[in-house]
Chain A
Amino acid sequence: MQFTTVVAVVGSAIHAPRDAKQRSLEEAMYAVAKAALVDAGVSTDDLDGIVVGANDQLDGRAISIMMASGSVGGVGRDILSTPSAAEHAFVLGAMRIATGQYRTQLVAAWSPIEVTSIPDALKLGTDPYFHRALPLDELSAAALQANALEHAVPGLREAAVGIAVKNRNNGALAYPDRAPAPLEKAWITAGKVLHWPLTEGMVSPPAYGLVALVLADAAFVKERGLSAPAWIHGMGWATEPGFLGDRDLSTAPALVEATQQAYRAAGIKDPGKSFQVAQVSDTTPYQELLAYEGLGLCKREQWLQAQESGRFAAGSSLPVNPSGGALSFNPVYCAGLVSIAEAANQVRGQAGHHQQKDVRRALAHAASGFAMQYQTVVVMGSSELRS
């Protein structure tokens, strides 16, 4: 992949309504879209198009983009939806600008938690003949993957617990105003088992969150004098097959493919030394471990040692998930787009409490679907990529 037009993230907003019961989804969507536009220093009139990630099952609607269009400024505009994953909305928004047909895009997604039972809603995503009779949802699929990884790498549980502790501590510093999650190793290890080996302490409950990003092309950034853009250097996205039984859940070939696409475009040869920060999928700590390998940051033989030595801890040469990730705040469905927004904020020097020093290039990874079916990788930098 080599875009013919250079694209940047010029604004973003991550919104976690504290008054969730008093705030309708439409109002919250308007708030997050408006905040992203204000952050970028542009107005709705400047938007050439919008891409939302909207998921019918979780929204309880038949075409959930419909309700979104007014709130995010879609009326009279070119608005599309990517229900497969929130991060796909980012990929499409960037591609649309790269065509040269659009100068700007708003990308947005949300995580409604009004649904009576998220596991039941997700279970409807299983094939009706073979799998629906099973207690299969994203959490149980993640547990199957965790089991496969524990089998492949003996002693992994200790590292997984360590990652949960790391990210929870990061989250507590990054967003002290959000609901506190357990930080203590003992609580994380010994908490109630949800689906073995995942305990209550190893995951975060679904949260009400929304995220929006404003993307623009280089000419628009220059014309408006927009400050601190995060330039997209490379993107990759790929999917695993739909049936879990067709996969070796201890590996992530689609992530390897997505990573290759993104690194090829960004010219990344040595990923371990190329980034100052990374935000990766961590719905469970096992996902973060698999991401280390898929992203070329750390082979599985080194996982235990890397975790123990704090190789990816805050203050290290490559802090991973300084925001606390989904282990600290889990807006289901849009957590991947939140990761991309966090990475962009790091490049823009606007990450807040958890801003890392001298971030010249950041890595974002998102995974969606059962056991990380959809894998997306984005490389962003503080300067335009020179080809």
Chain B
Amino acid sequence: MTNARVGIIGIGQSEFKARREDANYPELVREAVALALKNAGRELDDMEAVVYSLAPDALLGIGNAERLGVDAVGARNKRFMRINTGGATGLSSVAVAHSHVASGACDIVLAAGGDKVGESGDSQTILNKIWDPTYERQLPLGTITMLAMSAVRAMHKYGLTEEDMARVTVKNRANASLNPKAHLRKKVTIEDVFASRYIAWPIKLLDACPQSSGGCAVVLASERYIKENRLEAVWITGVAHCSESYFIGDRMGNNYVADHADAHALGESFERSYRMAGIKDPAKEVHVAELYAPFSNTEFHAVEAAGLAPIGKSMAMLREGQFHIGSRTAVNPSGGTLCTNAIAVSAMVRVAEAALQVWGRAGAHQQPGAKIAAASGNGGDHQFFGTMVIEA
């Protein structure tokens, strides 16, 4: 167990769009930081440390771009470090900020970042470079083809259908239409999804996340600081990570070490977070979940890894009306990564949205009565998984 409780006292999300030509990269980060500080009622000078959230530098075209972000987050002469676990980076950064506070090193810490995926040219060409140059990079691997293979395996193993996938898109787009911060806010129908072009079978355009530009920031503080300053907070009660192997080939074929249909390490990470939070039956105890799922098919194995459905049963539960806002556990009421994906902060947005839900501040996409939320982030080639439990 950690030594003391750590609270979230401020949240800032910029506008997320395909292009943010009105703001350069540091300005985009600053936009989110300013909102988070205002939300927390704190100044930059109050921050004792900054954890910088930035996934592949190549998406920005600037090496170690966190160095240019130092001023945007007000970190001059302060504790500062950058975290990168690919798509999980945003959640990992909040987890590292949590470590700053829970260790006793700091009382108040800012986690912040931003990304310009929408202006990166073709993100999939860049993301091909995550694979080993000798063995797997020559394959037409990108994050879409990688997770299309997961969908194919889930079709074989659990009977996943393209209609099941479309149902996730329809749910999440409807949720995003209620969330003013989301990037893709237009409602769609199952027919719309089927009418969109294939990108990598069975993933179609509307089964896929957008390339978004935007920033996110979260302010964390110790329980002592929160009480002394009479601040409002929600609490991080569980936090963990777990990793899979690097090579995709290790999750397929004979003698695989994990099944690519599932999210084995995500499940392990959730078990660790729930254990820390004292949650024994997540399906009954968790009211809302913001799960990193950039493609419609991946929401199913994320839901199952989060313990919200038995393995292979989440498709049927969605068909029966589960996981919508107002059901027992709302999944991605913000619209999720499927509707907004600025890679460096997508997993931080999961934390931010989970916090807003248990705070009762989610607005039109509020899950009624939410008090316990789960959040997750996935990074690398479905390799790094971070999870968090946030409670009112």
Chain A residues near B70 (CB-CB < 8 A): 239-242, 373
Q: Indicate if the CB atoms of B99 and A242 lie closer than 8 Å.
A: no
Decide: B242 and A78 in contact? CB cutoff 8 A. Answer: yes
With the chains together, A78 CA to B62 CA distance in Å?
28
Is B61 part of the binding interface, using a Cβ–Cβ cutoff of 8 Å? yes
Is A77's CB under 8 angstroms from B242's CB?
yes
Contact indicator B243/A237 (Cβ below 8 Å): no
Contact A253 B132 (CB under 8 A): no
Bound-state CA distance A239–B78 (Å) is: 6
Residues in B whose Cβ lies below 8 Å from that of A124: 57, 61-63
Chain A residues lying within 8 Å of B75, measured Cβ to Cβ, are 239
Min CB distance, B31 to chain A, in Å? 18
What number of A-B contacts does a CB cutoff of 8 Å give?
206
CB distance from B225 to the nearest CB of A (A): 14
Q: Does A159 sit within 8 A of B, measured CB to CB?
A: no
Pick the contact of B103 from A79, A83, A85, A95 — CB < 8 Å? Answer: A95
A257 touches B77 (CB 8 A): yes
A78, A239, A242: the one contacting B241 at CB < 8 Å is: A78
Separation of A239 and B383 alpha carbons in the complex (Å)? 30
Chain A 322-355 interface residues, beta-carbon cutoff 8 Å to B? none
Contact of B246 among A66, A122, A125 (CB under 8 A): A66
**Quick check: A80 and B96 within 8 Å, CB to CB?**
yes
B61 touches A85 (CB 8 A): no
Contact for A63 among B56, B98, B247, CB less than 8 A: B56
Minimum Cβ distance to chain B for residue A24 (Å): 9
A20 at the interface (CB under 8 A from B): no
Q: Is the CB of A101 within 8 A of B129?
A: no
Given contacts A74-B243, A99-B99, A239-B80, contact A60 B57 (CB under 8 A): no
**Is there a chain B Cβ closer than 8 Å to A5's Cβ?**
yes
Q: Is B268 an interface residue (CB 8 A)?
A: yes
> When the two chains form their complex, are residues A4 and B3 in contact, meaning their CB atoms are under 8 A apart?
yes
| Cα(A61)–Cα(B1), bound, Å | 36
Binary interface encoding of chain B residues 66-90 relative to chain A, with 1 for a CB under 8 A from any of its CBs, else 0? 1111110001111111111110000
Confirm or deny: A113 has a beta carbon within 8 angstroms of a beta carbon on chain B. no
A3 touches B103 (CB 8 A): yes
B380 to chain A, nearest CB (A): 4
B interface residues, how many (CB within 8 angstroms): 70
Query: If A75-B244, A92-B96 touch, does A66 touch B381 (CB 8 Å cutoff)?
Result: yes
Residues from chain A with a CB closer than 8 A to the CB of B86 are: 63, 65-66
Task: Tell me, in angstroms, the Cα distance from A127 to B52 when the chains sit together.
Answer: 17
Does A84 reach chain B (CB closer than 8 Å)? yes
The interface residues of chain B lying within 8 Å CB-to-CB of A82 are: 81-84
Task: Report if A69 contacts B (CB, 8 A).
Answer: yes
B231 in contact (CB, < 8 A): no
B78, A79: Cβ atoms closer than 8 Å: no
Whether, in the assembled complex, A210 has its beta carbon less than 8 Å from a beta carbon of chain B, the answer is no
Q: Is A57 an interface residue (CB 8 A)?
A: yes
| Chain A residue total in the interface (Cβ 8 A) | 67
| Bound-state Cα–Cα, A79 to B83, Å | 11
B384 at the interface (CB under 8 A from A): yes
**B77, B92, B130, B272: which contacts A66 (Cβ < 8 A)?**
B130
Given A61-B130, A83-B64: A69 touches B3 (CB 8 Å cut-off): no
Smallest beta-carbon distance A83→chain B, Å: 5
What is the distance, in angstroms, from A166's C-beta to the closest C-beta of chain B?
A: 30
Chain B residues with CB under 8 A of A94:
103
Instruction: Confirm or deny: B240 has a beta carbon within 8 angstroms of a beta carbon on chain A.
Output: yes
Chain B residues whose CB sits within 8 angstroms of the CB of A65 once the complex forms: 84-86, 380, 384
Q: Please, how many angstroms separate the alpha-carbon atoms of A237 and B50 in the complex? A: 11
Most interface-central of B75, B243, B246 (chain A CB within 10 A): B243
- In the complex the two chains form, is A238's CB within 8 Å of B52's CB? no
Contact A125 B62, beta carbon cutoff 8 Å: yes
**Interface presence of B140 (CB below 8 A):** no
With A56-B56, A80-B83, A241-B70 in contact, do A98 and B129 touch (Cβ < 8 Å)?
A: no
- Do B64 and A66 have beta carbons less than 8 Å apart? no
A237 contacts which chain B residues (CB < 8 A)?
79-81
Q: Is A135 an interface residue (CB 8 A)?
A: no
Query: Chain A residues with Cβ under 8 A from B96's Cβ?
Result: 80, 92
Beyond A55-B64, A238-B79, whether A101 also contacts B242 by CB under 8 A is no
Chain B contacts for A242, CB-based, 8 A:
67-71
Q: How far is the CB of B90 from chain A (nearest CB, A)?
A: 13
Residues in A with CB closer than 8 Å to B83 are: 80-83
Query: Complex: how many Å from CA A243 to CA B69?
Result: 10
- Give B264's nearest chain A residue, CB to CB: A76
Q: How far is the CA of A254 from the CA of B98 in the complex (A)?
A: 23
CB–CB B99/A92 < 8 A = yes
Chain B proximity of A185: nearest CB distance (Å)? 35
For B84, the chain A residues whose CB sits under 8 A away are 54, 56, 63, 65, 81-83
Pairwise interchain contact A253-B77, C-beta atoms closer than 8 A: yes
Nearest CB of B to A88, in Å? 4
Chain A 218-240, CB-CB to B under 8 Å as 1, else 0, gives 00000000000000000111111
Known: A3-B104, A79-B241. 16 other contacts (CB 8 A): A3-B105, A4-B3, A63-B56, A63-B85, A66-B381, A84-B64, A97-B103, A98-B99, A98-B103, A127-B68, A237-B80, A238-B77, A240-B77, A242-B67, A243-B71, A257-B78
Sample (8) of A-B pairs whose CB atoms are under 8 Å apart? A69-B383, A80-B85, A84-B66, A84-B67, A99-B102, A235-B105, A239-B79, A369-B64
Top 6 A-B residue pairs of the complex, sorted by shortest distance between their CB atoms: A98-B103, A125-B63, A84-B82, A124-B63, A99-B102, A4-B104
